[in-house]
């Protein structure tokens, strides 16, 4: 299968490309500034519709997996024009071009399309974002359907974590870095999510692409917990000091953008349909810990504790 993966140099895009190439797919890795280490590199600015159309027309991919996004929530709040250009308008250009090319579009969205008042969201629940990031991603979802009936899929993860982008830490790498240096870390205990390991998510996305499963799928981790609870589990798995994890409330954090109180996702549809199942947080963190050997360089490697 011929795949075009956007956001190729990102935490998720890189994992998608690695899994897809290992399975023998012909993968084109679209990037704006930093070429990916795997796949066939393709420079692409998705905010230019003519460039999007020309790239898709030239490559003729069977499936496009769009992992490109502006996912810094506070940045999106302060720069909504950029957020909507990347998270919404560029998806519209992709969807329009895929419809013309007869290509399947797999759009990666987010749990932040929900307001967090309910929690444990199903694919059929009505989205209602509370910040510009969530709204821009919701508009991206709405643009996806322009690809045409049966020709699109939307995957919603939650708090993606994993190794691979040292210059931009995520929830898990940030906690690991702080605790490894014996520094305290404040983590919110009154907001809930479904943390998603990047490699598990990537495997689900590749399967969705291979089977061209239409509609919306919640492809998050299988465990609902707060970021404080996540930090404690990271400390346990790596054998780090849990006492350095300081509980905080959302009111304690000077965020620019409001966060949903509980954006956890029900993953029953993905669990039923996919052979690559959403992982529990314990399984994900053991794999995350094991993967440290690839990214740690000369750092001391600790035994991973279940």
Report, as residue numbers or ranges, the catalytic residues: 133
DSSP states of 64-114: EEE------HHHHHH-HHHHHIIIIIHHHHHHHHHHHHT-EEEEE--GGGS
| Torsional sign, CA 132, 135, 137, 140 | negative
Q: How many helices, marked H, and strands, marked E, lie in the chain?
A: 12, 13
Listed in sequence order, the residues at least 6 apart from 24 whose beta carbon sits closer than 8 Å to its beta carbon are none
Query: How far is the C-alpha of 180 from the C-alpha of 194, rounded, in Å?
Result: 24
Closest CA to 185 of 177, 194, 196: 177
Taking the CA of residue 175 as centre, how many other CA atoms within 13 Å lie in the half-sphere pointing to its CB?
31
Instruction: Report yes or no: 6 and 44 within 8 Å, Cβ to Cβ.
Output: yes
Instruction: State the DSSP code for 121.
Output: B
């Amino acid at each position: 299968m011929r795949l075009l993966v956007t956001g190729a140099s990102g935490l998720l895009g890189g994992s998608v490309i690695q899994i897809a190439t290992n399975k023998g797919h012909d993968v084109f890795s679209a990037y704006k500034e930093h070429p990916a280490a795997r796949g066939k590199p393709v420079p692409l600015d998705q905010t230019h519709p003519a460039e999007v159309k020309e790239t898709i027309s030239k490559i003729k991919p069977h499936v496009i997996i769009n992992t490109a996004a502006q996912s810094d929530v506070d940045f999106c709040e302060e720069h909504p024009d950029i957020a909507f250009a990347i998270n919404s308008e560029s998806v519209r250009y992709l969807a329009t071009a895929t419809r013309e090319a007869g290509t399947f579009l797999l759009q990666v969205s987010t749990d932040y399309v929900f307001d967090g008042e309910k929690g444990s969201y199903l694919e059929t629940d009505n989205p209602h974002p509370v910040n510009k990031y969530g709204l821009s991603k919701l508009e991206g979802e709405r643009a996806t359907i322009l690809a045409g009936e049966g020709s699109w899929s939307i995957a919603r993860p939650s708090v993606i974590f994993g190794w691979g982008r040292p210059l931009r830490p995520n929830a898990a790498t940030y906690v690991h870095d702080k605790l490894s240096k014996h520094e305290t870390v404040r983590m919110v205990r009154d907001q809930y999510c479904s943390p998603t390991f990047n490699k598990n998510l990537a495997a689900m996305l590749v399967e969705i692409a291979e089977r061209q499963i239409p509609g919306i799928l919640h492809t998050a981790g299988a465990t609902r917990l707060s970021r404080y609870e996540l930090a404690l589990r990271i400390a346990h798995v790596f054998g780090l000091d849990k006492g350095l994890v300081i509980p905080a409330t959302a009111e304690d954090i000077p965020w620019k953008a409001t966060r949903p109180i509980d954006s956890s996702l029900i993953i029953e549809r993905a669990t039923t349909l996919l052979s690559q199942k959403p992982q529990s947080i314990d399984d994900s963190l053991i794999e995350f810990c094991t993967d440290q050997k690839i990214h740690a360089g000369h750092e001391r490697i600790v035994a991973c504790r279940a």
